[in-house]
Chain A
């Protein structure tokens, strides 16, 4: 194994089809912008890139929309390098980062590009593209009608039961997230929002409201990663990848992923996410208390409360108090999503895991402006996606 560094990162600002930010740009155009920025940031030319790990949403048997890494390579220049297209639902970006990392760590390549980008179809994500009774996702949507927001709402409702969480407490997480996004030039939403605004937004899936659930966005993200030897050629102060891990859910998982499962013997939530984060901690030799800040997948505000507890960043049932005390803000004791998170960016599915790497890198370099976590030394990034996929990466300076 050789040490791996993040040499350069780039984003295309997130937006909505037809707006002033992304207009009608294709996913290839969005990615080209992000890749150009990452190459520029790294001081690397396209011809030096030896391989590409791309986050791909072209599920087999699925839809015609989405990123294919080959399109990016053809667009920027057909140098003949290998392209690995990774599909893992919303975890695809984190998965691509892990594959890029593994290729460099394992000594196969010294300079690798990781890219993800998306032009999203409007509305709630259609999770099954086929009418096929052997597809569990088809059965779940046809026989029940259980879209993503309702899955999250089921967990939020259970948290209200377990810990007495109120709708105001959920809403206050969105208020905090949107405050972080002010001045973040890459966020789709860059304005503060009040508790009253959030509580006045309609339910998408009771108890979760429109402003508490990330919308779909268009956007792209890229990262240039390299071996330690290569890093020394380009910079004196690289950001290091302390660890990168991928996991899938385990048999003990108690959440309603499909139509049914055994009644669990105890609460065992998000086992894929816990698996990835635990492995990332173990491989890095870094514990929850050493983390300066976290970029986690907040498809809904619920996750800013639940995930830190599930990973040992704080105690079970403690999150609401930490949010109220301002401890999850960039200057707090446990900063969560200083970027503004998915709630401020919207989700461009395959870009998200790479977008997190960009934000963590800027934070560790001290380049995050108003949202900077003071003295950030260690950053944790996490994604999870349909099918029971999850990724975690720990970066340090």
Chain B
């Protein structure tokens, strides 16, 4: 039986046809945003022109940390809690994105190449709830 899954928050990311987060980009100055921004935050931007933009693919770890203890609500996790790494990744597409790692903390290093994936964050009422994560490439 295939486990039924759904995003932990709808509308933020997609898995079909390759993992990607659903953001926006200002076509006037090129600034990327995730989540989508209603207007450009760059005070030097000549004129805010926002278009939907998806970000996925590969990037490099700028830095990372480990959640050695479970974060407080509204975070949700399976029990027993398993420490996980959190990476800050500079995607080749120009977005610096934060996300959990699929790989264990011991496998991490600054500068490591990673790729965006969609993976289970926690289970509730027999369903898997997913989020975007990174995997060592």
A interface residues (Cβ-Cβ under 8 A, vs B): 123-126, 128, 131, 133, 136, 138-147, 149-158, 161, 202-208, 251, 254, 256, 258-264
Is B135 interfacial (CB-CB < 8 Å)? no
Report which of B9, B11, B23, B35 forms a contact with A142, defined as CB distance below 8 A: B9
The 6 A-B residue pairs whose C-beta atoms are closest, nearest first, are A153-B65, A158-B63, A206-B66, A260-B34, A145-B75, A147-B71
- B47 contacts which chain A residues (CB < 8 A)? none
A301 vs B44: C-alpha distance in the bound complex, in angstroms?
35
With A141-B74, A158-B63 in contact, do A260 and B32 touch (Cβ < 8 Å)?
Answer: yes
The smallest C-beta distance from A120 to any residue of chain B, in angstroms, reads 12
Is B128 interfacial (CB-CB < 8 Å)? no
The smallest C-beta distance from B107 to any residue of chain A, in angstroms, reads 13
A260 touches B65 (CB 8 A): no
With A251-B43, A260-B34 in contact, do A124 and B74 touch (Cβ < 8 Å)?
Answer: no
The smallest C-beta distance from B103 to any residue of chain A, in angstroms, reads 14
B interface residues (Cβ-Cβ under 8 A, vs A): 8-12, 21, 23, 31-35, 41-44, 55, 62-77, 84, 86, 88, 90-91, 94-100, 105, 110-111, 121, 131-132
A204 touches B69 (CB 8 A): yes
7 pairs across A/B with beta carbons < 8 Å?
A143-B132, A145-B86, A154-B65, A154-B88, A206-B65, A256-B88, A260-B23
A157 vs B85: C-alpha distance in the bound complex, in angstroms?
12
Report which of A136, A149, A258, A263 forms a contact with B90, defined as CB distance below 8 A: A263
B35 touches A153 (CB 8 A): no
- B111 contacts which chain A residues (CB < 8 A)? 161
The smallest C-beta distance from B87 to any residue of chain A, in angstroms, reads 9
A144 touches B63 (CB 8 A): no
Given A147-B72, A154-B88, 11 other A-B contacts at CB below 8 A? A125-B72, A133-B11, A142-B9, A143-B131, A143-B132, A145-B77, A146-B71, A154-B86, A256-B88, A260-B34, A263-B96
- B44 contacts which chain A residues (CB < 8 A)? 251
A124 touches B71 (CB 8 A): yes
B95 touches A262 (CB 8 A): yes
CB-based nearest A residue for B94: A263
- A138 contacts which chain B residues (CB < 8 A)? 74
CB-based nearest B residue for A124: B72
A146 touches B98 (CB 8 A): yes
Report which of B62, B68, B90 forms a contact with A206, defined as CB distance below 8 A: B68
